[in-house]
Amino acid sequence: MRQFSSLLNGLARSLRGKNSENDDGREAAEAMAKDAKRNDLILRSSGSVNVDGSNNFASVFSKRGRKGVNQDCAIVWEEFGCQADMLFCGIFDGHGPWGHFVAKKVRESMPSSLLCNWQQTLAQASLDPDSDLESDKKHQRFHIWKHSYLKTCAAVDHELEQQRKIDSFYSGTTALTIVRQGDLIYVANIGDSRAVLATTSDDGDLVPVQLTVDFKPNLPQEAERIIQCKGRVFCLHDEPGVHRVWLPDEESPGLAMSRAFGDYCIKDYGLISVPEVTQRHITSRDQFVVLATDGVWDVVSNQEAIRIVSSTPDKAKTAKRLVEFAVQAWKKKRKGIAVDDISAICLFFHSSPLE
């Protein structure tokens, strides 16, 4: 812990000394991303990441549905920000005519922006070196990450609106991301993708713990905000149970989530791009976390998901096996409905590829 405090305070002092501006910080973060890509520390396609000496192992898989181009995308960045004990991963589910471009743009800009804002927040509010309480330091670190995420998501959404080459007026994307820093994970969620942790119970059983809320329009706090902003929430007659967000006087755009990047046609009517940010301390009982788009969770339960992942001998193939199971479940449970794009990341905390 002393080493972590020294890192934070040292980084804060160096940033203060350079009087770093936001643009300079963003350029430095983007340079780190390019170096990480060259060193095979970043994965942006289906595959796996396992860096020598790392406690992390990540499996990624994405499958195009029957609706056209695959609008899902993902990223895993080991040694995030050149820190050996840090990892960033995220999954993005685009929607609308330009959804695949929006999702990829957010995937490209969010990690570097977050890294820049995290460094700047450390410079402004480094951990108190005189504090001996572990709980105080944990609380401070969480608020540093939460502030960094809130600032990042606001900036990314603003930048997206200014993009001339991408039309985000009727298109957008969800974003579910995790930062692992030592034995802590920070989870930030915008939209209806979901993160589920697999942990060992007192009885020795592997049980799921849902780490995120599916931000659907019919959630009471979400519906209240939308209605207060003059937006509407209702289901179409041929989609009972599927609540969507609509403009005050038009049956458009009909979004099935209440938070997203982009979708500026309805941003004044209750849709927001504010993430819910939470943290969890990882112990020896916690085995892995699954991040997946709603195409998985529409047809696969949390318990089924962790059972499928835990029963796959080759960890490099866990995400693929989960996605393929979801595709088959979709065909059985949702006959007549085109299979959605389906993507997953399986992040293991203490394991090698094969056991």
Q: What is the pLDDT of residue 98?
A: 96
Matching residue, tokens 């298109």: 171
- Residue pair 2/131 in contact by the 8 Å Cβ criterion: no
Task: Tell me the two tokens of residue 239.
Answer: 């989609």
Q: How far is CA 113 from CA 54, 141, 151, 253, in A?
A: 24, 18, 9, 29
Question: How deeply is 220 buried, as exposed, middle or buried, from its count of CB atoms within 10 A (0-12, 13-18, 19+)?
Answer: exposed
Q: What is the pLDDT of residue 31?
A: 85
- Residue pair 227/248 in contact by the 8 Å Cβ criterion: no
Q: How many degrees, rounded to 5, is the angle at CA 206 between CA 200 and CA 209? A: 80
Query: What does the pLDDT look like over 258-305, one tens digit per residue?
Result: 999 999 999 999 999 999 999 999 999 999 999 999 999 999 999 999
Residue of 287, 294, 290, 282 whose CA lies nearest to 258: 294
Q: What is the pLDDT of residue 24?
A: 75
- Residue pair 226/271 in contact by the 8 Å Cβ criterion: yes
Q: What is the pLDDT of residue 80?
A: 93
Q: What residues of the chain score a pLDDT lower than 50? A: 1-20, 353-355
Separation of alpha carbons 314 and 59, rounded Å: 10
Distance of CA 286 to the CA centre of its chain: 19
Q: What is the pLDDT of residue 131?
A: 52
Question: How deeply is 127 buried, as exposed, middle or buried, from its count of CB atoms within 10 A (0-12, 13-18, 19+)?
Answer: buried
Q: What is the pLDDT of residue 351?
A: 60
Separation of alpha carbons 199 and 154, rounded Å: 33
Own/partner contacts of 202-209, CB < 8 Å, gap of 24 or more, are 206/287, 206/306, 206/307, 206/310, 207/303, 207/306, 208/302, 208/303, 208/305, 208/306
Q: What is the pLDDT of residue 76?
A: 96
Positive or negative torsion for Cα 237, 241, 242, 248: positive
How many CA atoms lie less than 13 Å away from 62 in the CB half-sphere? 21
Matching residue, tokens 């108190």: 128
Query: What does the pLDDT look like over 197-215, one tens digit per residue?
Result: 999 999 999 999 999 999 9
Residue 115, phi then psi, degrees to nearest 5: -60, -45
Separation of alpha carbons 63 and 323, rounded Å: 7
